[in-house]
Amino acid sequence: GENVEQHPSTLSVQEGDSAVIKCTYSDSASNYFPWYKQELGKRPQLIIDIRSNVGEKKDQRIAVTLNKTAKHFSLHITETQPEDSAVYFCAARAPSNTGKLIFGQGTTLQVKP
Amino acid sequence: NAGVTQTPKFQVLKTGQSMTLQCAQDMNHEYMSWYRQDPGMGLRLIHYSVGAGITDQGEVPNGYNVSRSTTEDFPLRLLSAAPSQTSVYFCASSRLAGGATGELFFGEGSRLTVL
């Protein structure tokens, strides 16, 4: 089955710097790659996603890139702000009608003011 | 819309006790799932369902049972709780049909402690 590895497990940056989180997946058939943000004590919420027919997607300060050949995808956050501090999860889903989503281990991002 | 509702939010059990975590969604989502969240382990899929009467195992199904008698409800049963099942449990649902994005909507979570 699908396996998703996420790195780093923790990341600390200064406010205004960029942050990059990387994930690799094992199932070459996977075609949907979302990123979720979980603030302390809250539920995970979708922040951005990308499909396998697209190489990059941006939404204001966040972007996701996908390299299908290498089977990895990354989350880029520019001009980080303290409110970006949270746990970020990547995930992957293979094409089927099951909807099954497999998550990475999570990255705790700390943005220092 | 209430979205995805989980109960209870907190529960303490003794080893060997049984309990059911309830999950209900009012978005008419076909897909429902249960995850457990442990430090450093991410969100691990326990069981999932693509519709009423259909369930399947995820990554860590041992010790848990599920059923899906209606579209709205997807309870998770612990038949004989063990300390290793101490965790935060999330129920999540999404649409599957009609070109849906598949975005997962999560409940607020249920924190379970097994002594």
Give residue A35's pLDDT.
Answer: 97
d(CA B73, CA B23): 6
Q: Name A34's bridge partners.
A: A49
Distance of CA A64 to the CA centre of its chain: 7
Mean pLDDT throughout B25-40? 93
What integer pLDDT is reported at residue A52 of this predicted model?
A: 84
Question: Within an 8 Å CB–CB cutoff, is residue A30 touching chain B?
Answer: no
According to DSSP, the β-strands at A10-14 and A107-112 are: parallel
Mean pLDDT, residues A5-30 taken together: 96
Q: How far apart are CA B90 and CA A94, in angstroms?
A: 21
Tell me which residue in A101, A105, A106 faces B104 most closely, judged by beta carbons. Answer: A101
Q: Is A47 on the interface with B (CB under 8 A)?
A: no
Output the CA torsion sign for A52, B33, B59, A89.
Answer: positive
Of the pLDDT bands very low, low, confident and very high (cuts 50, 70, 90), residue B106 is: very high
Average pLDDT over residues B29-42: 92
Lookup: tokens for B32: 């429902």
Distance CA A8, CA B99 (A): 33
Place of tokens 């442990």: B38
Residues of A in contact with B90 (CB under 8 A): 43-44
pLDDT at A72 over 80: yes
A35: its two tokens = 């990123």
- d(Cα B15, Cα B105) in Å, to the nearest integer? 31
A34:B44 CB<8 A: no
Give yes or no for residue B102 having a pLDDT over 90: no
State the pLDDT confidence band at B15, using cuts at 50, 70 and 90: very high
Backbone region of residue B42 per phi and psi (left: phi > 0; alpha: psi in -120 to 50; beta: other values)? left
Under an 8 Å CB criterion, which residues of B touch A? 30-31, 33, 35, 40-45, 48, 50, 56, 58-59, 90, 94, 96, 101-104, 106-109
CB contact under 8 A, A103 and B102: no
Q: Select from A10, A43, A8, A26 the least CA-distant residue to A102.
A: A26
